[in-house]
Chain A
Amino acid sequence: DQQVKQNSPSLSVQEGRISILNCDYTNSMFDYFLWYKKYPAEGPTFLISISSIKDKNEDGRFTVFLNKSAKHLSLHIVPSQPGDSAVYFCAASARGSGTYKYIFGTGTRLKVLA
C-alpha cells in the first residue's frame, strides 16, 4: 500500500517555464514533508521541506505547497532550467514515527527542454 504517491512518472517542460511536480499521501499522521532530487548514478540530495503547520515554503526557484485537507503537496520550479532535469522524490514522516522514518514516493522524472 503506497502511502506516498507520485502519479506522474515523467514530466517534460520547456526551459524558462514552470515545472509542477505533484505528490499525494494517504496517512493523516504525516506532518513533515520533503523533496529530494536525484541525478543518474548519484544519491538523492535534499531540496526543500515543509512542516504541516505551514502551507507554503519557498527557497529561491523552488516552492513547496501543502494542502492538508486534500493530502496533497506540490513542488514548483520557476523558471525551470536544463540542470533541473532529474528524478524528484517526495517523502513524508509521521508524528511519533521517529524522524528518520521517511516514506518515499516512486519519483517523477523531470526533463527540462532547452
Chain B
Amino acid sequence: GAGVSQSPSNKVTEKGKDVELRCDPISGHTALYWYRQSLGQGLEFLIYFQGNSAPDKSGLPSDRFSAERTGGSVSTLTIQRTQQEDSAVYLCASSLGSTRSNEQFFGPGTRLTVL
C-alpha cells in the first residue's frame, strides 16, 4: 500500500514568486495535516482538514499561505510572494480519523528554498 506522497521533493524559487506544494494522503484517510520544519526548529503545525468540515487554519503564519483539499483527497499548500523565511521542509501527514488513537502518517516532505 502506498504511503503519503508529496511533490516536488525539492523546490528552489526566487523571492516573490508563488509556489504550490502537493500532498497525496493515504487512500481512505479523512484527516490531513500540513506542518513545516524550519532549520533548528521542531515541526510547526500549519493547517488541518477533517472530512468535509471547515479546515483549521490557525497555524498558518500569514495570509500568504493557503491550502485546499479537493474531493477529500489531494491537498495543495500555496505560498504567495515567497520570502526567505519561508525556506523550510514542508511535511504533510494523514490519519484515518482525528482521535488520539489515529496515528498520523507523514510524507517525506518538500524542501523549499527561497533565494
| Residues on A facing B (Cβ under 8 Å) | 2, 4, 6, 32, 36, 41-46, 49, 51, 89, 91, 93, 98-107
A102 touches B45 (CB 8 A): yes
A104 touches B103 (CB 8 A): no
Point out the residue from A41, A93, A104 that lies within 8 Å of B43, measured CB to CB. Answer: A104
Residue in B closest to A98 when the chains form the complex, CB atoms: B56
Interface size (B, Cβ < 8 Å)? 27
Task: Tally A-B pairs: CB < 8 A.
Answer: 62
Q: 3 tightest CB-CB pairs across the interface, nearest first?
A: A43-B106, A104-B42, A104-B43
Given contacts A46-B104, A99-B98, 11 further A-B contacts (CB under 8 A): A2-B42, A4-B42, A43-B93, A46-B103, A46-B105, A100-B45, A100-B50, A100-B56, A102-B104, A103-B45, A104-B43
B43 touches A44 (CB 8 A): yes
B109 touches A43 (CB 8 A): yes
A100 touches B98 (CB 8 A): yes
Q: Does B65 have its Cβ within 8 Å of any Cβ on chain A?
A: no
B4 touches A43 (CB 8 A): yes
